[in-house]
Amino acid sequence: MSRTYTIKNKLVESRLFLNRIVAAFILILLLTSGLIVRLVYLQIVGHEHYATLAKDNSIKIEPLVPTRGIIYDRHGKVLADNTQSYSLDLIPEQIKDLDGTLQRLQKLLNISDEKIDQFQKQRKRQKRFVSTPLLISMTDEELAKFAVVRPYFPGVDFQARLVRHYPYADLASHVVGYVGRINEAEMKTLPIAEYRGSSHVGKIGIENTYETELHGKTGYAEIETNVQARAINTVNSVLPVPGENLYLTLDIDLQKTAYDALGDFNGAVVAIDIKTGGVLVFVSRPGFDPNPFVIGIANDAYQALQSSENQPLYNRALRGLYPPGSTIKPFIALAGLEYNAISAEHKLFCPGYYQLPNVSHHYRDWKKGGHGSVAMSDAITQSCDVYFYTLASILGIDRMHNFLRHFGFGEKTGIDLAGEKQGLLPSREWKRSQHNQSWYPGETLITGIGQGFLQVSPIQLAKAVATLANKGQVVTPFLVKHAINPDSVDPDMETQLGNIELKPENINTIISAMVNVIHDPHGTAKSIGKDINYQIAGKTGTAQVFNIKQDAKYNENDIDFKLRDHALFISFAPAADPKIAVAVIVENGGHGGSVAAPIAGQVIKQYLGDNSENRNPE
C-alpha cells in the first residue's frame, strides 16, 4: 500500500460502495421478480395446458423404432435377421405387491432366480412407471400359460418385440458379431434422441461397425391417449427410416467348408477375393452362439465361454497374433530380388546349419544334414532355412523391415471390423524404444524365417499374400461393399502405402517357386495339387509356440499338445490369374503342409469349382 488516502477519500469510497450494494440488491430483486413472473405464467396461466400435456389423456411423443437392417452373405443368405417374439413386461407402479407377484410368476413359469435378480437390478435403475421386461423371447408354452391367468396380473403383460436372430450361430459369430442390451456406458455415448426406444446396440463385428447404417433413423408419433392410457389417435408422426440391409462379401457356404475343415483344431482361415479385396471366408474357430447374447446371456454360460481354454470369444482371425514362420519366406526372397541382394539363380550351400562370423552358435535348418546346394526356387519349395538365414543376413533388418511394411505387416489391414490388432514388424527403432536395446544380428536371422519378434494376424497374412498374388497392387480387405461413409474411414487407412512397384520377372520367380510348393514332387504341400486343372501357389509354415500357458490343470497329454507347433499355410489360385487368396493358421496343428494346406485346398477347390470358367483347362 504505497498510496495514502485521505479520510475524505475513504468516506467517498464507502458511500459509493453502499450505493452499489443497494443498486445490486434492487437489480437482484428485479431479476428474481422476472423469474417469478415467468413461473406464474407457466404454473398459473399455462397450468391447464401443461397439465393436459403431462397427464395420460394427452399427447405423448412416442418414439417409432426403426427395424434393424438384415445382414446377408454375398449370395443373399441371411446371416442376421429379426424374428417376432414376446417378452413379459412388468410396470412396477401398477403392481401392488411386487414381490408376491414375482413369486407367483416364478412358480407359474419356472423363472430362474437369476432372471428375477436381473429384473430387480434393471427395475431399480428405472422410474416406477417404466415397463421393464422380466422374460425376453417367451416360449409358446410360457405364452400360453400366462395368457390364461393374465387378468389376475394387473401391470404384467406380454409385448411383441423383434429379436435379433443369427441363423448360422457359431459359424459366423466372429464376423457378424451380435447386438446386446445398451449398457450404461453406451447410454452416455449414443445419440439420445436416436436411441429413445431402442434397447439393443451392435456390440462386436459387423453389427458394431455398421451400427449407424443397420439401426436406421428413429421416427416419432404424437399420440393422443385417453385416461386409461390407451392410444386413441395419432395426431402427427414422422415415420422411422428402417436400417439398411447389408450384403457382405462373405460366402457362408465357403465359410462352412473352412470351419468344418479345421475339425477339432483351434485356428483361423481367411480368404480374400483378390480382384476386389472382398473377404470370402473369415473363420475363427471355435466360434460361439451369439443368440444368447441378444436376450442376455446367463452368467454361468458366459463364465463358461470366458474360462474355456479354447477361448471361443477370442477372434483369432482378427486379433490372434502368430509368428508367420516360413510363410514369410516368399516375401523375404522377393525383397532379396528387388534390392538386388541376390539373384534367383545364385546357389547357396546348406549344410544343415548356419553360423554367424565369429559366433559359435549353430542356427539350425529344420532338415538335419541340410538341403545341399540350393537356388531361390528350391529354397522356397523345400523351405530351406539356411538359405534364408543367409539372405536375411545379406539384407539386414532395415531393408527387411522397409520391404515387408509395404505388404501391410505391422499395420492394421483396415478391414471394417473393430478391434483389429496391428501385429509386430520389428525394427531397430522399435527395439530401441520398447526394450532399450540395440538390434542383434541373430535376430535378423530368425526374422528371415518368420520367427523372433515378428507377429502377424491371419487377416494380415491373407492381405499380404493377396497383395503378392496381385503383383504388388495392395489389396485392402473389407466385408461390406457399399455404405463406406467417407467420414467413418479409419484414420489408419489414410496412412496406407500405395501400390508396390515390383519387377515382373521378380514376382514371377516367386510365384513359380510357390507353385512348386504344391506341384513339384519335392514341394512341402504337394498333397493338395491333385485333381485340379489349374495351379495353386502357396507356402507352408510352422511356427514354434513360445508362450505356453502353464495352467496347472492340464494333464501331460494336453501339455504335449499345447507345445506342438502352429501350422500355417498361405496360398492363392489360379496361379496364372489369381482370384482367391487364402491364409490358414491351425493352432498346435504341427506341420503346415500336412494340416493347414489341405484346409486351404478345400476352400480354393470349392470356390474355383463354383466358377465354371475354371472347370475346363485354359
Partner 1 sequence: MKTETRSEQFYPPSLLGNILRKLHIDIPLFVGLLLISILSFVILYSAGSQNMDVLMRQGVRVGLAFLLMTALAHVDPYQFKRYSALLFGLGIALLVAVLVMGQFGKGAQRWLDLGVFRFQPSEMIKITTPMMIAWYLAEHALPPKSKQLLIAGMLIVIPTLLIAKQPDLGTALLVASSGAGVLLFAGLSWRFMLAICATLAGLTPILWHFMRPYQRDRVLTFLNPEADPLGRGYHIIQSKIAIGSGGIYGKGWLGSTQSELDFLPESSTDFIFAVFAEEFGLFGCVGLLALYLLIISRCLYIASQAQDTYSRLLASSLAFTFFVYVFVNIGMVIGVLPVVGVPLPLVSYGGTSIVTLLAGFGILMSIHTHKKFIPH
SS3 category, 456: strand
Phi-psi region of 450 (alpha: psi -120 to 50; beta: other; left: phi over 0): left
Radius of gyration of the CA atoms of the chain, in A: 33
**36-44, 277-285, 383-391, 552-560 -> range binding partner 1 (CB under 8 A):** 36-44
CB-nearer residue toward partner 1: 36 or 149: 36
Q: Which of 7, 8, 26, 50 binds partner 1 (CB under 8 A)?
A: 50
Least Å distance, CB 226 to partner 1, is 16
Q: Within 10 A of 608 (CB to CB), how many other CB atoms are there?
A: 20
The Cα 280–Cα 582 span in angstroms is 9
31 is a contact residue toward partner 1 (CB under 8 A): yes
Q: Is 130 in the site for partner 1 (CB under 8 A)?
A: yes
Residue 17 binding partner 1, by CB under 8 A = yes
| Candidate residues 192, 228, 521, 546; the one interacting with partner 1 per rule CB under 8 A | 192
d(CA 581, CA 271): 5
Shortest spacing between CB 25 and partner 1, in angstroms: 6
How far apart are alpha carbons 480 and 436 in whole angstroms?
42
**Cα 403 to Cα 422: distance, rounded to the nearest angstrom:** 17
| 24, 147, 232, 301: which one binds partner 1 (CB under 8 A) | 24
* Residue 236: CB minimum distance to partner 1, A: 10
> At CA 599, angle to CA 598 and CA 600, rounded to 5?
90
42 or 239: CB nearest partner 1: 42
Whole-number Å distance between alpha carbons of 255 and 418? 20
301 binds partner 1 (CB under 8 A): no
Work out how close the CB of 184 gets to partner 1 at its nearest, in angstroms, rounded to a whole number: 10
User: Cell 504337394 appears where?
Assistant: 526
Our answer to whether residue 326 is catalytic in this structure is: yes
Near partner 1 by CB under 8 A, which window of 17-25, 242-250, 371-379, 521-529? 17-25
**235 touches partner 1 (CB under 8 A):** no
In the complex with partner 1, the residue whose CB is nearer, 130 or 394, is 130
Among 119, 220, 265, 293, interactor with partner 1 by CB under 8 A: 220
Give min distance, CB of 158 to partner 1, in A: 23
Options 11, 26, 36, 548; binder of partner 1; rule CB under 8 A: 36
CA distance linking residue 437 with residue 443, whole number of Å: 12
Task: Report d(CA 396, CA 406) in Å as an integer.
Answer: 17
Q: Does 124 bind partner 1 (CB under 8 A)?
A: yes
Residue 526 identity (one-letter amino acid): K
Please say which residue, 40 or 304, places its beta carbon nearer to partner 1: 40
Residue 61 near partner 1 by CB under 8 A: yes
Contact 171, 200 (CB under 8 A): no
Distance of alpha carbon 444 from alpha carbon 451, whole angstroms: 10
Q: How far apart are CA 217 and CA 274, in angstroms?
A: 35
Amino acid (one-letter) located at 252: I
The residue from 85, 118, 137, 218 that contacts partner 1 (CB under 8 A) is 218
* Candidate residues 11, 26, 28, 239; the one interacting with partner 1 per rule CB under 8 A: 28
State yes or no: residue 63 binds partner 1 (CB under 8 A).
yes
Contact status, residue 573 vs residue 465, Cβ threshold 8 Å: no
The yes or no reply on residue 32 touching partner 1 (CB under 8 A) is yes
107 contributes a contact to partner 1 by CB under 8 A: no
**Block residue for cell numbers 463385428:** 205
Q: Which set of grid coordinates corresponds to residue 30? A: 428485479
Based on the number of CB atoms within 10 Å of its own CB, is 574 exposed (0-12), middle (13-18) or buried (19 or more)? buried
By CB under 8 A, tell whether 42 contacts partner 1: yes
Three-state DSSP class for 467? helix
How buried is residue 365: exposed, middle or buried, by Cβ count under 10 Å (0-12/13-18/19+)?
buried
Cβ(448)–Cβ(392) below 8 Å: yes
- The yes or no reply on residue 545 touching partner 1 (CB under 8 A) is no
H or E stretch covering 203: strand 200-204
Query: Is residue 55 close enough to count as binding partner 1 by CB under 8 A?
Result: yes
The answer to whether 545 and 564 have CB atoms below 8 angstroms apart is yes
Among 11, 13, 144, 497, binds partner 1 (CB under 8 A): 13
Candidate list 58, 326, 377, 457, residue with the active-site label? 326
**Candidates 3-11, 70-78, 388-396, 563-571; binding stretch for partner 1 (CB under 8 A):** 3-11
Q: Does 43 bind partner 1 (CB under 8 A)?
A: yes
What is the smallest separation between the CB atom of 104 and partner 1, expressed in angstroms? 25
Q: Give phi and psi for 552, each to the nearest 5.
A: -65, -25
Q: At what angle do helices 113-125 and 98-109 cross, to 10 degrees?
A: 150
Our CB check for partner 1 shows the closer of 24 and 149 to be: 24
* Cβ nearer to partner 1, comparing 7 with 160: 7
| Chain centre to alpha carbon of residue 208 | 8
CB of 33 to partner 1, least distance (A): 9
Binding residue for partner 1 (CB under 8 A) from 11, 47, 232, 435? 47
Q: Which is nearer to partner 1, 3 or 549 (CB)?
A: 3
Rounded Cα distance between 177 and 175, Å, is 6
Size of the site for partner 1 (CB under 8 A): 50
Asked if 129 touches partner 1 (CB under 8 A), the answer is yes
Contact residues toward partner 1 (CB under 8 A) are 1, 3, 5, 9, 13-14, 16-18, 20-21, 24-25, 28-29, 31-32, 34-36, 38-40, 42-44, 46-47, 49-51, 53-55, 61, 63, 124-130, 188, 191-193, 196, 218, 220
Residues forming the active site: 326
